Amino acid sequence: MKASRRHIIGAPLSGVPLQLESEASSSYQDFNDNFVGDDTDFVHIDDVATTDGAVHSKRKNPLLVWLDDRDYYLTELIRMDGRGDYTSDTCCQCNISAPAQFRCDDCCDMQLYCQNCVVVNHLRSPTHRIKEWTGSFFRATSLKNLGLRIQLGHAIGEKCILPRKAFNNSFVLIDTNGIHEVSVDFCGCERSQTHTKQLLRMGWFPSTSTDPRSAATFRLLQHYQILSFESKSSAYEFYHSLVRISDNTGLVKNDRYEPFMRMVREWRHLKMLKRFGRGHDPAGVRGTKEGECAVLCPACPQPGKNLPSDWKEAPKAKQWLYSLFIAIDANFRLKRRAISSDEVDPSLSMGWSYFVEEKKFKAHLKEQLSETQEKSSCSNHNAVNMAETKQSQGLAATGVGTVDCARHNFKRPNGVGDLQKGEKYVNMDYLFFSTLRDNCLDALNVSYDIACQWHKNLWSRMKSLPDSHHISYLDVFIHFFVPKFHLPAHVNKCQTVFSFNFTRFVGRTDGEAPERGWSNINPVASSTKAMGPGCRRDTLDDHFGDWNWKKVIGLGASLAHKMREAVTETADHEAAFREFDAAISSDHRSAWTVEMEKWEENPNDTRFTNPLERKSIQITQAAARLKLAEMEAQELAHGIDLSLHPDISPSVLIASGLDLEEEQRRVRRTSEGMGLHVSDIQKGTLARMRNVLRRKIEMWRSAQVLYMPAVQILTSTVVPAHHQPSDNTEDISLWLPSNLKSKPCDSRLRDHEWDLRYAQAHDSLEELRQCLRVHCSMLTFKREWVRGQGSNTRAQNALARVHAQQVACTRRYRVAWEALNTLAPLLKKERWQGRLQDLKDEDVKPLVDPFGRETEGRRRLTWIWMMAGVDTADDGGDVDGVRVEWCKSRARAMRWAEEVQLLHEEMRRVLQFLDWQANWWDEQRDRRDCVTPAEHEGLVSYANKQADIRRRLAVRFRLLWATYLPLSGAVPPPDDFTEFPDLMLPDL
């Protein structure tokens, strides 16, 4: 038997082999299969040796093994507070009589050195933490106190002939291991540079550009930037963690929080400018244009960067591949309190990346203050109707609005702006047209959760914007959508006209991209809400840039995963549609195809009917009874009266029998729900219900025997198995025509029962579907809103009632199905089972399960929602419902096929964009005239590094996509491909 997966803790004792649970049958390969490394939870050996040499037999939890070693670990930790094995008074490095009483906490060396040796050893590590042995314990000291002076502007060990001390010989350096006071000598000789340059060339970032008295190391600023991206920790928390690392007693006061915040902002800003080639541009930083410092989506169409040169002349059948997908949304978690102002705290980048330029934005909002926003004519959307009532007391911004790439979840350049009072059109219009300002594409797909209302007067509202924000909407095909998750909250018309599922040339886009990004940025809200306006915008810009860059390096895996899924789903849905399509008549197929194609061309054109909306009236019992009554009225008008009872006609007899049958089921449910311990009140209620039912059956029976004489014989000769004791009135057989089977019965009565049973089956299915809808809605409501034991109990009781009704509908349908199955051969009914089928438990599923994983584009309908194959029935059948489901099945197959084509195009665009960007960086190397060779070498080196990263990314993606783009895999990987560099944004 193969050994189970276990974990090996510790090393085996010398000479003691590892023992598997079944040593005789386990092979060497078995051992390799079960050795899974140090990060698993269990051991798989009989004996393990711990650090103290003890042997623990068959311990399987490493934590339990460690518990026995706690004393040993604790002893070693305490031992570190003494000198350990290094108790000699002589320095081990210089071997002189100077006392060895200093140890470094940051060096991998526990030995003690004399004062001079410690200073010499730390000429290149001036921020290490030193401890001094006082004779009884170690006390923290600093290299400054020991005499270490840091000479700037010269190589290590080289003296300056004219050193200049920092002001008051006090300089604070912030590093990853704490906040340090250091002795700094600036260079004052003929080769000296400004103090700021001397610090920067040392790798220290000065807190000010004039007479700096504190600085932070580059590695600290980079460390915090990465940490803030991944953990969303605030600068306040990070800085005070450094304070506690330096001194956890609170006895030392050295507050540099404000300079630290300033350095963090400046560092982020400079890194942004560096990454986007502003240091290589002869125009410098001031030549930066709006939106120029945003990480672009390589998979979206970027004219001049990743589109073919003749893309505008592409065939019409291919032009849709060059459409731009964008999504609009608002986030009300990213608030900002009314703190500071733009004058006191301006943004360092003036609309250069994701936020729009603030002055122009606010000027436009001020001009539109008097404009009133129209109310929603769709559902009661709070985003529209309550935009003016959003709570804004004490807030300068109630949130942010964003425009994202809808397919790849990138923040768009100049697509982010503050909201002052809810999700008003004036704010979202400005963001929408700002991000499209330089767009020259011919097709645009826009997703917005209130698109059905927002798009109505969009072009008239555009006229109020600056001319630079206008787009030629008559020359661009623009389609508006509602994201798939938000769509069910809209009215029925919106659920087809604005649906991604039923619109051509959108693939499997869902429009929910912004919602996925909020989970990444929302943790920053707690710190940014108390920032000034400029600091907040710069911080969010930095986080959005990191988000976009991580999306870039993740495109290889994400597009490969989407393609694998799309290829599989395309085959499955095409096969499902072909199977469905084969059951449809050629006349209907051609007619429905034409109808669907006309509607797809222009879904808003009222000349074309919507093929996804049902037009026929569903079959109901009430309608069937009305039809039978009208037929009897026509017979009476012609002097034909087949009634044998003055008050009860044949159709009324059968209809009353079905009513009695339903009442029997109701009494039976009451009886079954009594439980084991029944009270007298419950018994009395049940007895009264049975008595009333018995009297109704007896009255009905008196009329039944007139029309069905065989019933009188059956009721007198029935066997006990079919005729229960008299106290169980709900079990009395009613002997409807379907129960008589081969017994003589008027065919007219059988026809009446067929019509009523057929309608009863449809009624039961419709009620069952309604129960499933209600049950899903209640479950969703309970999960989202119900809290507390009392509320949960009430909700659970309501769910139980709906479930009981669902069970009753299922039973009623099955009775009707059995009756129809019996009557069909007697009445020679053919091709009726395509509409109605045997209802199995697995068929009772909701149309859209809120807790399931299937969406509209993936779902497989059970027959109760589709009821296919009836379009050629003699009586017309449910052709309307079949047409709707046929159109939906066709749309699902088409969307998946389009997705495969879109993904192929996106893969091609990504590779072309990376190649373009690598070549762009190659062109940046010699653009700027440099004063010194060192500056030129730095520019060339950085441009080469950036180009190399893009080319290596392209090679990586080609390898990942080789299965789907075989021609793109021809480029071999570099020799050192296994040492792929870290591509996180701050390392660029």
**DSSP secondary structure of 316-336:** HHHHGGG-EEEEEEEESSS-E
Contact 198, 186 (CB under 8 A): yes
DSSP result, 806-846 = HHHHHHHHHHHHHHHHHHHHHHT--S-TTTS----GGG---
Residue 820 to residue 816: CA distance in whole angstroms: 6
How high is the pLDDT of residue 866?
60
CA distance to 576, 684, 694, 731, 838, per residue, from 727 (Å): 53, 13, 9, 9, 33
- Token readout for 50 is 């711990």
Would you state the pLDDT for residue 202?
A: 96
State both tokens at 204: 């220290």
Q: Is residue 978 very low, low, confident or very high in pLDDT (cuts 50, 70, 90)?
A: very low
Angle at 651 between CA 646 and CA 652, to 5 degrees: 55
pLDDT computed for residue 972 by the predictor? 41
β-bridge mates for residue 403, sequence order: 328
Helix, strand, or coil (residue 478)? strand
Average pLDDT score, the chain = 83
Question: Mean pLDDT across the stretch 312-329?
Answer: 94
Most confident of 465-469, 481-485, 866-870, 920-924: 920-924
Least confident of 13-22, 64-73, 511-520, 781-790: 13-22
**pLDDT(618) > 60:** no
Pairing of strands 443-448, 324-331: parallel
pLDDT for 522 beyond 90: yes
The most distant pair of C-alpha atoms in the chain lies apart, rounded to whole Å, by: 137
Q: What is the pLDDT of residue 802?
A: 77
pLDDT digits (tens, 9 = 90+) for 851-899: 665 666 666 667 776 654 334 444 444 577 678 878 988 999 999 999 9
Q: Is the pLDDT of residue 200 over 90?
A: yes
User: Of the candidates 105, 82, 83, 80, which has an alpha carbon nearest to the alpha carbon of residue 92?
Assistant: 83
Supply the pLDDT for residue 730.
Answer: 82
pLDDT digits over 414-454, tens only? 999 999 988 899 999 999 999 999 889 999 999 999 999 99
**Between 878 and 676, where is the model more confident?**
676
For the cut 60, the answer to whether the pLDDT of residue 24 exceeds it is no
Decide: 452 and 469 in contact? Cβ < 8 Å.
no
Contact 293, 276 (CB under 8 A): yes
- Kindly report each contact of residues 384-388 with a partner whose C-beta sits within 8 Å and lies 24 or more positions away, as own/partner: 384/423, 384/450, 384/453, 384/454, 386/422, 387/421, 387/422, 387/423, 387/424, 387/425, 388/421, 388/422, 388/424
Residue extents of the structural domains in the chain: 287-368+383-551, 638-672+686-714+729-735, 744-864
Most confident of 310-319, 746-755, 815-824, 832-841: 310-319
676 pLDDT more than 60: yes
Lowest mean pLDDT among 313-322, 398-407, 627-636, 865-874: 865-874
Rounded Cα gap, residues 616 and 686, in angstroms = 42
pLDDT the model gives residue 432: 97
Region for 454 from its dihedrals, namely left if φ exceeds 0, alpha if ψ lies in -120 to 50, beta otherwise: alpha
- For the cut 80, the answer to whether the pLDDT of residue 680 exceeds it is yes
Q: Can you give the pTM of this predicted structure?
A: 0.75
Q: What pLDDT was estimated at residue 791? A: 72
